[in-house]
Structure 1
Amino acid sequence: MALDPRWPLALFRGAAPIALGLMLWVAIAGGEQERQQTLKAQPEGNAAVLAERRRHNELVMMALREAAQTDDNVSQRQVPWRK
């Protein structure tokens, strides 16, 4: 059985995009560790800011839970609202 002359060309055409994708992935993944270190070094990464952000997220989640449990439109309430 003879090898079809179009077969190597078809393999090349199929492998070229895969090889290009792998090269791009390697180029981007190489900078990922550097990006992580840069993010850790930013001033927003300290414990006080993270604690404040967690507390804010907790307040937002409490408001969302209350909105889900009631039929009232909680977005129309005055700002210092309480249950």
Structure 2
Amino acid sequence: MEAVRLWGRALVRGAAPVGLGLLLWFAVGTGEQRRQDTLKALPEGSPQVLAQRRLHNELVMAALREAAETDENVARRPVPWRK
């Protein structure tokens, strides 16, 4: 009888953190869906902002490509470093 009680206590001690984890997982999951919906509704998702961001990323990639192709340390160039 003592062994059954020990197994029961061990089962409860093991199941409590799992249950708490599942509860938190469900709570965070519903908040995540709401956050995704909010992000989709922001004006930052407009085509103009996305085009500006895309252009900025292209300029950064061009600068990185140029830095990779040359032996010069482009970080030590004077500030207006564009050609």
Q: Give TM class, smaller chain.
A: 0.7 to 0.9
Matched residues in 2 for 1:60 and 1:3: separation? Answer: 69
Instruction: Provide the TM-score with structure 2 as the length reference.
Output: 0.84
Aligned length: 81
Alignment of 1:60-75 (within 5 A): 60-75=60-75
Matching residue of 1:30: 30
Matched residues in 1 for 2:74 and 2:53: separation? Answer: 22
2:12 aligned with 1:17, yes or no?
no
Instruction: Provide the TM-score with structure 1 as the length reference.
Output: 0.84
Consecutive aligned runs of 4 or more in structure 1 exceeding 3 Å deviation: none
Is the helix fraction higher in 1 or 2? 2
Q: Where in structure 1 are there 5+ consecutive unaligned residues?
A: none
Percent same amino acid at aligned positions?
Answer: 59
CA RMSD of aligned residues (A): 1.7
Alignment of 1:19-58 (within 5 A): 19-58=19-58
